[in-house]
C-alpha cells in the first residue's frame, strides 16, 4: 500500500463517515474500510473508474467535485479526502472551501512542485518537469493548478484554516512540517499531506 494512504489512514478515526473526492479505482476506499471500518463514499468523474468501484462493491457517485459537492449538507462527513487531485481543479480555492463546508475535517494531499528534483529539471532541462507524481507532459496534463508545500501552507494560513497536521513525504519517509522547517521540507519532499479544519 502506498505510504500516502497509510498516513491518511492514521489520520482517520475508526468507524467514521468519510468522503473520498476523486476516488479513482477506490484503492484508498478499500484500504480505509479494511483498516478503519469507515462508512465511506466516493466521487469520481471517470466512467471507467466508477465501474471499477461498483465492481468492488463501493458506494460511488459519478460526478465532478467542482459541481457536485454542493449537494452534501454542511458537516455531513467526519473527513473529506482529496488525494493528489487539487491541482486538477479549475478553482481549487472553491473546492477546498466546499471540502471544509461538508467535512468536519479535510485531508488534502498535494504533489509538491517545490521538490528539488522538479526545480532542477526546470532549471537545467528548461522543460516542464515530468516525474513519478507528475507523469504527464505539459500539453496533456490534467494538472492546471500545481503548487508547492509552502504555497499550500501559506494559503491555509491566509484563509485562516487550522492545520491540525502537516506531513511531508520524502522517498516515502514521513516527517512533520512546521513554520521553522517549512523551507527545507518544501525543498526535499515530493508530497505534502495536510489535515485541515475551517
Partner 1 sequence: MNIKDNIKTLTINKPLKLDCGKTINNFPLAYETYGSLNKDKNNAILVFHALTGDQFVAGINPVTNKDGWWSYAVGPGKSIDTEKYFVICANVIGGCMGSFGPSHQNPETKKIYGTDFPVITINDMVNAQVNLLDHFNIKKLFSVVGGSMGGMQVLQFVSNYPDKTKTAVPIACTSSHSAQNIAFNELGRQAIAADHKWQDGEYSSKNTIPNKGLAVARMAAHITYLSKKGLQEKFGRKLQERDDLKFGFDADFQIESYLRYQGSVFVDRFDANSYLYITRAMDYFDLVKQNHGNLSNAFKNTKAKFFIISFTSDWLYPTQENKDIVIALNAIGANVGFVEIKSDKGHDSFLLDVPDFLKALKNFLDQSYLEK
Least distance between partner 1 and beta carbon 73 (Å): 6
81 phi and psi, to 5 degrees?
Answer: -105, 135
Residues 8 and 82: beta-carbon distance below 8 Å: no
Select 60 or 118, whichever has its Cβ closest to partner 1.
60
CA–CA dist 52, 78 (Å, integer): 25
- Between 73 and 135, whose beta carbon lies closer to partner 1? 73
Shortest Cβ 61–partner 1 spacing (Å): 5
CB of 45 to partner 1, least distance (A): 11
Question: Which residue lies nearer to partner 1 by CB, 64 or 183?
Answer: 64
Nearest approach in angstroms of CB 67 to partner 1 is 10
**Where along the sequence are the contacts to partner 1 (CB under 8 A)?**
17, 47, 50-51, 54-63, 71-73, 76
Nearer to partner 1, 63 or 174 (CB): 63
Of the pair 9, 76, the CB lying nearest partner 1 is at 76
Question: If residue 59 lies in a helix (H) or strand (E), which one and from where to where?
Answer: strand 59-62
C-beta of 197: minimal distance to partner 1 in Å? 20
In the chain, alpha helices (H): 3-11, 27-36, 47-55, 65-68, 92-102, 116-120, 149-158, 182-188
Distances (CA, A) of 185 to 122, 168, 175, 191, 196: 19, 7, 9, 10, 18
Backbone angles phi, psi at 164, to 5 degrees: -70, -40
Q: How far is the CB of 75 from partner 1 (least distance, A)?
A: 11
Nearer of residues 6 and 75 to partner 1, judged by Cβ: 75
Total H helices, total E strands in the chain? 8, 8
Amino acid at each position: 500500500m502506498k505510504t500516502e494512504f497509510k498516513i491518511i489512514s492514521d489520520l482517520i478515526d475508526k468507524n467514521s463517515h468519510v468522503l473520498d473526492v476523486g476516488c479513482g479505482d477506490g484503492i484508498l476506499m478499500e484500504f480505509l474500510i479494511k483498516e478503519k471500518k469507515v462508512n465511506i463514499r466516493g466521487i469520481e468523474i471517470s466512467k471507467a473508474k466508477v465501474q471499477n468501484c461498483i465492481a468492488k462493491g463501493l458506494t460511488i457517485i459519478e460526478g465532478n467535485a467542482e459541481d457536485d459537492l454542493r449537494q452534501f449538507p454542511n458537516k455531513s462527513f467526519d473527513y473529506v479526502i482529496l488525494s493528489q487531485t487539487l491541482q486538477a481543479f479549475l478553482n481549487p480555492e472553491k473546492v477546498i472551501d466546499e471540502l471544509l463546508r461538508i467535512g468536519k475535517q479535510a485531508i488534502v494531499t498535494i504533489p509538491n512542485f517545490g521538490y528539488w528534483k522538479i526545480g532542477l529539471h526546470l532549471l537545467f532541462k528548461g522543460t516542464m518537469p515530468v516525474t513519478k507524481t507528475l507523469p504527464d507532459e505539459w500539453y496533456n496534463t490534467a494538472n492546471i493548478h500545481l503548487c508547492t508545500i509552502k504555497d499550500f501552507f501559506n494559503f491555509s494560513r491566509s484563509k485562516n484554516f487550522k492545520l491540525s497536521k502537516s506531513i511531508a513525504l520524502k522517498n516515502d519517509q514521513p516527517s512533520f512540517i512546521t513554520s521553522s522547517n517549512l523551507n527545507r521540507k518544501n525543498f526535499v519532499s515530493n508530497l505534502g499531506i495536510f489535515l485541515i479544519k475551517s
